[in-house]
Structure 1
Amino acid sequence: MKNNSTKIIAFILMAILICACNAVKRVPDGKNLLVKNNILVNGKLTNDETADNQMYQKPNGTLLGYRLRLNLYNLANLNPDSTYQTKFKKKPGKYERMSKIYSAKQVDRLGQSFYYKGIHEFLKNTGEPPVIIDTSKTKKSLLRLKYYYFNNGFFDVKTDYTIDSIGNKKAEINYNITTGPAYIIDTISTKIMSPALDSLYKTNTEPSFVKSGNQYKTSDFEEEKNRITTYFRNHGAYFFQPTYVTFDIDTISKKNKANVTLVINNNNIQERDSSRTEPFKLYTISDVNIYTDYSSANAKKKPSDSTSYNNFNLYSFKELKYKPRAITDAIFISKGSTFADFRTTLSSRYLNNLKIFNYPSIQYEVDKRDPTAQSLIANVYLTPRKKYSFGTTFDVTHSNIQDFGIGASISQTIRNVFNRAETLEISARLNIGSSRDMANPNDNFFNVSEYGLDMKLNFPRILLPFGTEKIIPKSMIPSTQITSGFSKQRNIGLDKENFTGGISYNWSPKRHNTAKLELLNAQFVRNLNPGNYFNVYTSSYDDLNDIASTYNTNAEVDGNNNLTIPKGTTQFTNQVLTQQTTLRPGDAQYQEVESIEERRIRLTENDFILATSYTFTKTTKKDLADNNFYQFRTKIESAGSLLSAVSAIGNLPKNSRGNYEIFNLEYSEYIKTEFDYIKHWDFGKEKVLAVRSFFGIAIPFGNSNYIPFSRSYYSGGSNDNRAWQPYALGPGSTNAVNDFNEANMKIALSGEFRFKIFGDVKGAIFADAGNIWNVLDNVIDEKAKFNNLNDLDEIALGTGFGLRYDLSFFVIRLDLGFKTYNPAHAKGDRWFKEYNFGHSVLNFGINYPF
């Protein structure tokens, strides 16, 4: 408590010190600090962000209305070296006295210390100098505003500005804009000099950005330029560029209206000292030449090996190392086809996706053999990557299980394995970590470890015994991936061995859509130390031990009369469930023991899962900077149905529990589906609202009455409900009675408003809602079940705020979540019951949660 009081007092004193700073401390006499820019359009204040972005000068940034960075800058001593030297000039003997105690060199170095200099450098660099009104920049801003409104159709715009003083050395600038009426596009006509382009233009059915009746906007004309250029270049006009598209605007004969003439001139050809014009031509491809091992060193050499395949010419400066189809399948430019930019782009994407070439280049030249000069030769230059490459990684990690972890991996990549552009990656990994949640009798810091081997073999095509070109054409960039892996974990759960394998198909139906079909996904999880269950799941042990303190008859106990693990716990559970104690079915404590045993069996049994799944993802996100998009992902997974069908057809016997087995192990059977939707709204000025909704359910049937732990859902954590620790929320209203709580149905909703604080530091306020439940499985605890829509009142709500530091390539994130509505409490006592710092959860994360 004393430490907390000290921190609070220090924080208050720092706040008072900062607030006491004079904002105009470093504003010269006769100058003014820019406090605000007001843009008044026809006498009314506007919040148009684009108009605001025309300003050459903007006020100092604020945090909740306070100019924090400006005041930090004002706290700094801008000349700490001079101040340090002045200290000795005022007291001449001080330098000599200090030099005798230390040394002259140490005294000089003291002036460079953090106390004398470093702190001021920090304040200066972190802070922000005052923005002092500069009238020359104000006039430039006014001119940019005039152009901005002119480009939006206000041809008679008038502008001026005034500077209003609002206190000592403080002022705001008023930018006064009088727009006049906006000009409207009236008639649209065309003047296209080249007959070939004129015909193309008339056959184009795409809607124009420039339409009669619309307000004049320069941006619409730019969009129309690009639209016309794209259409022409995708239909054979190789030499066409946007500069050939111009617009004549006639406003003389109309009042507030403009007649538009689209003008496209002939091709301008530069020939040494002269130039000439001629109509544009439409080109076809006469040859496609592929240089499979091109480099700058052999640019002037002649290829030594060549072959032709499906009208493609393949050349190599050494022996040709690829089967022709492996390369030609990636080329969408074909002999006899019309030149089209989109074919070039698609070919480059596919070639890059092969991951066996560096920066493929596609160039065109006019075929001199064609007397009409309307043919192009496409030259594809491919520079192979090294066949073998070795890689290493080293990571510091944080996860739901590990508080701290160190991971390392080595990998070997082999390219063009079967001479058809396949890639094989073999990797080994090792991770050691620390976890407070794991059984740790020796109190070792690194009490968690995992090592594994993985293999991935990628084929740049759909690998099936029948053709799929009609269903999944090569323009969708299909691929097949075969994977296998093995990992062994120590003190993660019950010490596990995990064997995986599978085959999956990936393709892109559209530019921003992806599809994945996992034809087979096999996983075998073997628990190496099931007897350690109650050492790991300590809350279950405590509950069982409490009951045993009253009802134990002859189960083994230690010197403190606690059940031994695993012998004593097993004996007592058997006593209760075989009614050797006074507990009977229907008793609350009998049901609790039954529930504990049900969960122990579920989490200690070995699992075999053979699943098939389909995942579809769609996004409108254009690039990393796009903050106005949505993303939708859905997945459906079926496990065990194929094995059950084979077992039924083969009339295979069932075990004593009425289930089929494979390799003496009951396999899992379930159906699982998920829906995930993310939406971002960009409000400008680095303000973004992001929301996410998720629903997932896995229903066991047939050979199973529960879902394996690895396929279950949990709630809480840095990417989920941030007011709860991972696995600490739910199921239902159970108050997370177990360690690592999980269930087979989940609902999650999150909203987050992100904003800039200063520099690369961003802030956020958020709300997370959701929970997990058990449904249609063998869990008997009614509090954990989802029975009807009334159970939606068990959706937990967490709210809070966070800080993010943007490092460009990733974001470091801290979020503090508060339990706002906790369904674990009795109804009527759930709101703000634990809304305090003592019950808050601090989350550390990398990148945004969604």
Structure 2
Amino acid sequence: MTRTTSRLCLLLGVGLLTACSNIKYLKPGQNLYTGAEIRINPDSSGRVKDEKSLKAELKGKTRPKPNKKILGLRPKLYIYNLAGEPKKKKGIRHWLRTKVGEPPVLSSEVRLKLNNDVLRSYLISQGYLQAAVTGDTVTRKRKTKAIYTANTGQRYTINKVTFPPDSSPVAAIVNANKEKSLLKPGSYYSLDVFKQERERIDNDLKERGFFYFGPDYLILKVDSTIGKHQVNVNLRVKETTPDAGLKPYTINDIRIYPNYYLNRDSIIRRTQPLEYKDFKIYDRRNTFKPRVFERMIFFSKGDTYSRKNHNLSLNRLVNLNTFKFVKAEFTPLDSFKNNQLDLSVYLTPLKRNSLSLSVTGTSKSNNFVGSEVTLTQLTRNVFRGAEQLNISVSGGFETQVKGTQAGVSSYSLSAEGKLSFPRFITPFFEPRSTSAFVPKTNVSLAFQLLNRANYFSLGSVKGEFGYNWKESAFKEHVLNPISVNFVKLISQTDSFRLARQNNPVLFSTYENQFIIGSNYTYTYNNQIDQTRRNNLFFMGNVQTAGNVVGLFFKEKEDGSKRLFNTSLTQFVRFEADLRDYLKINRGLIWANRLNLGYGYAYGNSSSLPFVRQFFAGGSNDIRAFAARSLGPGTYRVNPNALFADQGGDVKMMLNTELRAKLVSILYGAIFVDAGNVWLRREDPLRPGSQFRLSKALDELALGTGAGLRVDASIFVIRLDLAFPIRKPYLPEGQRWVINDVAFGDKGWRKENLILNIGIGYPF
């Protein structure tokens, strides 16, 4: 018997054992409910449109739900039975039975008549007005299945739609927008569409000031007696609609309470307001400049009420990230007798200062361990204009615990200050944004010190001025028209100096240089829409350096351009990151990523500077290889070297990961990563480093593995164990190493297994 046959027999045996075990735990007279089956028009030749989808909808509405199945088995039920009745309300047995396990769903819980009524009601709502549903159960070997037979009849369509004939203000607006109606002659009768039509009309009226109107004030009368399985729909405003719902309202006073606390309500209201344009601002401490609210509140005195402006105002105030609670209250003047509303905006500020700390850890197969600590201080409302000052400092180290350089460490120190203004600041005019998201002007200054033991110390100072704005909930833009970065090689060892002297590419990469240019990033992300089965993320970035500034500098005798005797870098760099998240079912997601990068150094530069190069390997990249240790191309760095930053001008990476919910907040994953980096020009001292499109696929590194994740929503802790199955630095024909995988071999594990510890998902 072959090994494969043995495994199949073992799996089948476990399945049969699990199934039998679940049945034997049932009490006498009990039967296990295994689910529902839907049959549509079985005794007629008539078929309904999209029958498969309709069956799924009907099946999803039946109750109860059977025990969950995986590959035909019911592991949760088996665990419940195996754990037995716990004697205490704590301990492993209690946890297995109540948290991991699932009690049996019995046939006695099935309510056929109730399900018949639910399914018939749904069919009627979808236009099957003559539908009938009957249910029955079938029991075999103590397993019960419910069978529901639906005779749908002909599905009704809309023949004609009529709107209110009178000349009232409400009727005038309804008729003016009737071409937008969702009710179209020839379309199917659908209760869901009827509800959406009422909401559409209500929204139209809210935009015209009808603050107290509601969808329930509309009635759709349906006449199904006209024959030919058609209906006439007559839309009317109910006669019982109150007067307040039949007239538009305008804005009277606008009162703003920027420091509102419930326990100080009476004191705040007695405060003498500051009148600024159309606003009355109750801010006795003068905490905010009045101009802030002019950009946040989209109402002026005398304006007609608009739901759009209402929502824009609320969203802007929330997205300002300055207030803990935001509330807008509209109150009528003189108890609905006139058509005016007072607007009161209640704002409770967040704490002015907040401090956060984050810690990450890494462990690599080449005996390197490391950690990084980041401390962040956030100060809000710095200049009374809802500005934010974010200051962060971080420090990290990496040391080899075994091997030829045990005890030798490298480290990095960085600090960054970022000041954000909640508006566009431009030299000549201030663009007015009318989206729900607050645009920001950012000024930042950052410093980083990178020390590679036995090699070099590198310092970097970077300053940027730019803008950040969201076009919509899914689309975001970041434009930094001014970006200045000064990179200096502070110190270097003799061995590293000699290596640079003998390698022009390495010399250019690590020389002192000014990077003066611009950058732009576009991001599309619809993951906040949880109703989608398929979510997308896209990030595109372009960076330029020395393009415009280089025009103002003359070339030196050696052909270089310099600023303060420092090389002026010239390059264009592109990067694109595309991710796709497919929800296979409620607890299973298939995530994929494609990451491409290309950098072109020209003129004054022969290669991208170190701080702009692409790297491959690491916990968020190709997890079967140590961070920054891959490439370029088929070149392999000494695995015992502490300095393993193998940068490149070109990057290609593909990731695929299947994520499954195991229990509670514990998730599992299996993944495959592929990718590499290359140089645009061949480095003679690193053979095989040049990018050639025809050979790129053959030079990809490939790794696979599995992981566990603790996803508590507010944070994610991740452990991924990975190993390589394709090593690009091996000779051609020998790069696939999947046949060498030997988990029982200590030497193989030491050389190939990598444990990645991270915060958050890899992508």
Under TM normalisation by the shorter chain, which class is it?
0.7 to 0.9
User: Deviation string for 1:218-258 (max 9, x for gaps)?
Assistant: 22222222222222112211111122233222212223222
Contact 2:212 / 2:245 at 8 angstroms: preserved in 1? no
SS at match of 1:226: helix
1:90 aligns with none
Q: 343, 357, 362: which one pairs with 1:393?
A: 357
The 5 A counterparts of 1:256-655 are 256-265=229-238, 268-269=241-242, 277=243, 280-301=246-267, 302-309=269-276, 311-368=277-334, 373-386=338-351, 388-398=352-362, 403-405=369-371, 407-409=373-375, 411=377, 413=379, 415-427=380-392, 429-436=393-400, 441=405, 443=407, 447=409, 449-469=411-431, 477-491=438-452, 494-531=456-493, 566=494, 594=502, 597-598=503-504, 600-602=506-508, 604-623=510-529, 627-648=533-554, 654=556
Distance 1:214 1:703, change over 3 A: same
1:541 aligns with none
Deviates more, 1:829-838 or 1:153-162: 829-838
In 2: Cα distance, 1:818 partner to 1:213 partner: 59
Contact 2:132 / 2:150 at 8 angstroms: preserved in 1? yes
Q: 63, 69, 79: which one pairs with 2:76?
A: 69
In 1: Cα distance, 2:567 partner to 2:176 partner: 64
Contact 1:267 / 1:279 at 8 angstroms: preserved in 2? no
Distance 1:817 1:62, change over 3 A: farther
Contact 1:796 / 1:822 at 8 angstroms: preserved in 2? yes
- CA drift of 1:780 comes to 6.9
Contact 2:369 / 2:401 at 8 angstroms: preserved in 1? no
Contact 1:194 / 1:265 at 8 angstroms: preserved in 2? no
- CA drift of 1:700 comes to 0.7
- CA drift of 1:518 comes to 1.0
- The answer as to 2:158 corresponding to 1:185 is yes
Contact 1:765 / 1:800 at 8 angstroms: preserved in 2? yes
User: Deviation string for 1:702-747 (max 9, x for gaps)?
Assistant: 2211112221112233433344443344333335668232211122
Q: 552, 570, 581: which one pairs with 1:669?
A: 570
Alignment TM-score, normalising by the size of structure 1: 0.76
The 5 A counterparts of 1:75-154 are 75-80=82-87, 118-125=91-98, 126-154=100-128
1:97 aligns with none
- CA drift of 1:324 comes to 2.3
In 1: Cα distance, 2:116 partner to 2:718 partner: 40
Deviates more, 1:67-76 or 1:230-239: 67-76
Q: 687, 690, 709: which one pairs with 1:785?
A: 690
In 2: Cα distance, 1:368 partner to 1:187 partner: 43
- The AA in structure 2 aligned to 1:57 is P
Contact 1:305 / 1:319 at 8 angstroms: preserved in 2? no
Q: 165, 182, 192: which one pairs with 1:219?
A: 192
In 1: Cα distance, 2:682 partner to 2:482 partner: 25
- CA drift of 1:779 comes to 6.8
Deviates more, 1:480-489 or 1:459-468: 480-489
Contact 1:734 / 1:824 at 8 angstroms: preserved in 2? yes
SS at match of 1:191: coil
- The answer as to 2:645 corresponding to 1:732 is no
In 1: Cα distance, 2:165 partner to 2:753 partner: 69
Contact 2:315 / 2:437 at 8 angstroms: preserved in 1? no
The 5 A counterparts of 1:708-727 are 708-727=609-628
SS at match of 1:363: strand
Deviates more, 1:769-778 or 1:126-135: 769-778
In 2: Cα distance, 1:148 partner to 1:747 partner: 50
- CA drift of 1:503 comes to 1.4
SS at match of 1:22: helix
2:648 aligns with 743
Distance 1:195 1:840, change over 3 A: farther
- The AA in structure 2 aligned to 1:719 is N
In 1: Cα distance, 2:166 partner to 2:665 partner: 52
In 2: Cα distance, 1:737 partner to 1:228 partner: 70
SS at match of 1:613: strand
Identity among equivalent positions (%) equals: 28
2:38 aligns with 39
- The AA in structure 1 aligned to 2:559 is G
1:695 aligns with 596
User: Deviation string for 1:457-491 (max 9, x for gaps)?
Assistant: 11111122211426x55766321111113344455
- The answer as to 2:124 corresponding to 1:155 is no
- CA drift of 1:665 comes to 2.3
- The answer as to 2:713 corresponding to 1:808 is yes
Cα-Cα RMSD: 3.8
Contact 1:819 / 1:835 at 8 angstroms: preserved in 2? no
1:55 aligns with 62
User: Deviation string for 1:281-318 (max 9, x for gaps)?
Assistant: 12222343333333334433445444443x32232352
- The AA in structure 2 aligned to 1:177 is A
In 1: Cα distance, 2:260 partner to 2:101 partner: 52
- The answer as to 2:680 corresponding to 1:775 is yes
In 1: Cα distance, 2:383 partner to 2:759 partner: 39
In 2: Cα distance, 1:780 partner to 1:209 partner: 68
Structure 1 alignment gaps of length 5 or more: 1-7, 82-111, 270-276, 532-565, 578-593
- The AA in structure 1 aligned to 2:249 is Y
In 2: Cα distance, 1:608 partner to 1:15 partner: 66
In 2: Cα distance, 1:267 partner to 1:286 partner: 28
In 1: Cα distance, 2:690 partner to 2:178 partner: 57
Contact 2:274 / 2:283 at 8 angstroms: preserved in 1? no
- CA drift of 1:612 comes to 0.9
- CA drift of 1:622 comes to 3.6
SS at match of 2:359: strand
- The AA in structure 2 aligned to 1:251 is S
- The AA in structure 1 aligned to 2:97 is K
In 2: Cα distance, 1:248 partner to 1:764 partner: 53
- CA drift of 1:598 comes to 4.1
SS at match of 1:185: strand
Distance 1:24 1:628, change over 3 A: same
- CA drift of 1:146 comes to 2.7
Distance 1:505 1:179, change over 3 A: same
Contact 2:164 / 2:175 at 8 angstroms: preserved in 1? no
In 1: Cα distance, 2:195 partner to 2:369 partner: 53
- The AA in structure 1 aligned to 2:213 is F
- The AA in structure 2 aligned to 1:284 is T
Contact 1:192 / 1:264 at 8 angstroms: preserved in 2? no
Distance 1:138 1:791, change over 3 A: same
- CA drift of 1:790 comes to 4.9
SS at match of 2:595: strand
In 2: Cα distance, 1:50 partner to 1:845 partner: 40
In 1: Cα distance, 2:405 partner to 2:221 partner: 84
SS at match of 1:695: strand
In 2: Cα distance, 1:496 partner to 1:727 partner: 17
